[in-house]
């Protein structure tokens, strides 16, 4: 008996250490808000949103004119070049020169055709370094250039179909990721709460087991119980002491996971509060499915994946047939030994070319690419069909689970209340010697399991509630779309302003 008391004393000897920690009671909603604000997962979600935002901006920028300057300052050349004499003979002559070239152009891609137009101004200077030093200027004040691939794959045209869908998908995916953070913190929170419940149960059982064992000792002296029943109660008392140690270790592990997830250091001890069950909502499968198809990025991903398959087939087909490259350049040019005069007496400058590429024999490689692309398209379409079925089935299961929560919650609440009352009655009845050790053990097991089941049922109700929010991006309590928090125009302006003013960008 004394050894057991020493063990219990050793168990609680660490309690003063907790006084050095910052003890903070935390509710489920507070944990959710903290996770959305300061968890590493929240930071990753925001960074993913930043990346997708700038990718979309880069795509939009590719549709706008761009201005660029190109130059070679300078280009030194000292070599021998082959030269043909009037009589047809060849000879090599020394070439020593320095040239500089500078051009400024305005370029515009044409998404519908895949072509490109440019307006350019160029200037070149050539200084000969031979015995007779000379300087010449070549000017192209203005030229219009148009290049157009024909029968080739137009990547920009496909980007115009895919990128806007991907942008909407990424914005919705950010909200899905935020709801996923809520689901994770709910899991960590209830793991800690259930662990705390187990620790409280272990402490209570240890206290009750000690009291029952003391009562049994007196009853044994009076011959009211057998030696076997006495040893059974002693065994229960010893086991309850071990349960305290195990439950305390588990509590520390669950504390560490929640604390780390929320961004707290090890000086903070979080005490979870038992929350009420999740709000009761009236939902129907068809309504939930309709909202999910509208709000969830899954629908946008399906559209994007279908377009991607068409893009792959189109690219394979374009590489199989003949390809043409048309080039047209119109403008004026002049040359002289002085810079001002090179801009006088300008002459027409015209360049027209048509490049041709015709595959003659590739041993069926290009045909194979088209066949592979078609099979990839069929495979992806099959996967999409399966994914749609899984998506709808998961929503059906979730709706059924939520609809059953209200009845289950009441059942578990009533069962917990009955089990507690039954244990109190059994405990007092055992004191009076009217029930056996087996009866009191059964009552204790029932009250322990009912307490755990009740907490677990609260957990399931909140888990289902946020899974519904995640799949629909809809707040069924306030009856509003979560997606409205990222309304396009307003969100984009605020997002860009906050991003440009953030310390991370300034660094």
Residue 362 has pLDDT above 50, yes or no: yes
181 CB-side CA count, 13 A: 24
Averaged pLDDT for residues 298-314: 94
Q: Tokens 């519908």 appear where?
A: 112
Distance CA 406, CA 247 (A): 30
Distance CA 204, CA 201 (A): 5
For every residue of 407-433, DSSP letters joined together read HHHHHHHHHHHHHHHHHHHHHHHHHTT
Tell me how crowded residue 271 is: count the other CB atoms within 10 A of its CB.
Answer: 12
- pTM summary value: 0.81
Q: Quick one: pLDDT at residue 504?
A: 45
**pLDDT tens by residue, 249-262:** 999 999 999 999 99
What are phi and psi for residue 179, nearest 5 degrees?
A: -65, -30
Residue 107 near residue 68, CB atoms below 8 Å: yes
Residue 19 has pLDDT above 50, yes or no: no
Q: How confident is residue 146, by pLDDT bands cut at 50, 70 and 90?
A: very high
Q: Tokens 């800690």 appear where?
A: 192
Relative to beta strand 323-336, strand 347-357 is antiparallel
Q: How confident is residue 102, by pLDDT bands cut at 50, 70 and 90?
A: very high
Higher pLDDT, 53 or 405: 53
Residue 331 has pLDDT above 50, yes or no: yes
For 49, 158, 268, the CA distances from 54, given in Å and listed in that order, are 9, 19, 38
Q: Quick one: pLDDT at residue 372?
A: 93
Q: Quick one: pLDDT at residue 181?
A: 96
**pLDDT tens by residue, 311-321:** 999 999 988 88
- Helices 437-472 and 155-221 cross at an angle (nearest 10°) of 170
> Percent of the chain beyond pLDDT 70?
88
Averaged pLDDT for residues 238-246: 82
Residue 82 has pLDDT above 50, yes or no: yes
Q: How confident is residue 301, by pLDDT bands cut at 50, 70 and 90?
A: very high
For 54, 56, 125, the CA distances from 219, given in Å and listed in that order, are 79, 81, 116
Residue 400 has pLDDT above 50, yes or no: yes
Q: How many residues does the chain have?
A: 507
Q: Quick one: pLDDT at residue 435?
A: 62
Residue 152 near residue 323, CB atoms below 8 Å: yes
Distance CA 454, CA 197 (A): 11
Q: How confident is residue 267, by pLDDT bands cut at 50, 70 and 90?
A: confident
What are phi and psi for residue 198, nearest 5 degrees?
A: -65, -40
Higher pLDDT, 28 or 446: 28
Tell me the two tokens of residue 450.
Answer: 């009912």
> Percent of the chain beyond pLDDT 90?
48
What average pLDDT does the structure give for the chain? 84
- Picking from 73, 49, 53, 69, the residue whose alpha carbon sits closest to that of residue 61 is 53
Q: Quick one: pLDDT at residue 224?
A: 67
Give me the numbers of helices (H) and strands (E) for the chain, helices first please.
11, 10
Could you tell me the sign of the dihedral formed by the alpha carbons of 181, 183, 188, 192, in that order? Answer: positive
Averaged pLDDT for residues 370-382: 93
Distance CA 507, CA 505 (A): 5
Residue 408 near residue 435, CB atoms below 8 Å: no
DSSP assignment letter at 314: H
What domains are there in the chain, each with its CATH number?
20-58+159-305+379-496 (1.20.1600.10), 68-110+115-152+322-358 (no CATH)
């Amino acid at each position: 008996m004394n050894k057991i008391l020493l063990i219990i004393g050793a168990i609680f000897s660490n309690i003063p250490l907790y006084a050095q920690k910052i003890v903070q009671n935390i509710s489920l909603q507070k944990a959710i808000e903290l996770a959305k604000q300061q968890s590493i997962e929240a930071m990753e979600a925001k960074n993913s949103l930043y990346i997708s935002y700038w990718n979309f901006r880069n795509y939009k920028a590719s549709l706008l004119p761009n201005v660029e300057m190109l130059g070679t300052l300078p280009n030194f050349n000292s070599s021998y070049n082959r030269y043909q004499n009037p009589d047809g003979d060849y000879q090599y002559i020394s070439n020593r020169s320095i040239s500089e070239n500078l051009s400024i152009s305005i370029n515009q891609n044409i998404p519908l055709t895949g072509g490109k137009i440019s307006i350019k101004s160029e200037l070149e200077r050539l200084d000969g370094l031979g015995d007779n030093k000379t300087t010449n200027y070549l000017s192209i004040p203005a030229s219009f250039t148009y290049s157009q691939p024909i029968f080739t794959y137009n990547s920009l045209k496909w980007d115009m179909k895919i990128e806007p869908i991907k942008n909407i998908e990424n914005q919705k995916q950010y909200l899905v990721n935020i709801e996923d953070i809520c689901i994770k913190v709910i899991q960590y929170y209830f793991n800690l709460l259930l662990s705390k419940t187990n620790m409280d149960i272990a402490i209570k059982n240890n206290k009750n087991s000690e009291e029952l064992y003391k009562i049994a000792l007196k009853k044994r002296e009076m011959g009211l119980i057998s030696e076997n029943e006495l040893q059974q109660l002693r065994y229960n008392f010893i086991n309850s002491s071990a349960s305290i140690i195990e439950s305390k270790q588990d509590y520390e592990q669950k504390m560490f996971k929640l604390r780390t997830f929320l961004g707290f250091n090890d000086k903070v001890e979080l005490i979870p509060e038992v929350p009420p069950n999740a709000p009761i909502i009236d939902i129907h499968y068809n309504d939930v499915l309709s909202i999910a198809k509208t709000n969830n990025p899954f629908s946008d991903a399906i559209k994007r994946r279908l377009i991607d398959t068409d893009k792959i087939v189109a690219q394979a087909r374009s590489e199989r047939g003949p390809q043409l490259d048309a080039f047209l350049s119109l403008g004026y040019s002049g040359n002289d030994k002085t810079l001002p005069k090179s801009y006088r007496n300008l002459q027409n400058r015209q360049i027209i070319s048509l490049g041709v590429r015709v595959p003659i024999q590739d041993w069926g490689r290009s045909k194979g690419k088209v066949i592979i692309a078609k099979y990839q398209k069929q495979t992806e379409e099959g996967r999409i069909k399966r994914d749609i079925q899984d998506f709808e089935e998961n929503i059906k299961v979730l709706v059924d689970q939520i609809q059953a929560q209200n009845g289950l919650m009441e059942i578990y609440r009533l069962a917990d209340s009955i089990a507690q009352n039954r244990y109190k009655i059994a405990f007092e009845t055992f004191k009076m010697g009217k029930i056996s050790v087996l009866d009191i053990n059964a009552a204790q097991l029932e009250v322990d399991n009912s307490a755990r089941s009740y907490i677990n049922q609260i957990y399931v109700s909140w888990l289902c509630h946020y899974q519904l929010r995640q799949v629909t991006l809809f707040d069924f309590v306030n009856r509003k779309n979560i997606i409205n928090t990222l309304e396009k125009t307003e969100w984009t302006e605020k997002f860009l302003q906050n991003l440009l003013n953030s310390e991370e960008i300034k660094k």
